[in-house]
Amino acid sequence: MLGHQLVSWRVESVPFMVELAKEFPQFGYIKEEAPPVIGRTRELCAARPVIRRVFRARGAHGLLYESHLGTEG
């Protein structure tokens, strides 16, 4: 039985993700959910065309504003 476990997530920096996308084009699709979401989303959308798509992961919370920034899906 798994029970309740603390999970630690590693959040990579936006510049690092952009560098990966330059080297590996298939990496240019990002699902952004790490805080601060709006700031990171702005940086990722500004890195187009290297970053091909930025997807939301917060349900309807901030949907219209994030769409305005250029997110998809």
Sorted by sequence, the CB contacts under 8 Å of residue 70 that are 6+ apart come out as 41, 45, 48, 54
What is the pTM for the complete model shown? 0.77
pLDDT in tens, 8-64: 667 889 999 999 999 999 999 999 888 888 999 999 999 999 999 999 877 777 888
Cα 23 to chain centroid, rounded: 18
pLDDT in tens, 57-70: 777 778 888 888 88
Strands 29-32 and 53-56 come out as: parallel
Domain boundaries, the chain: 14-69
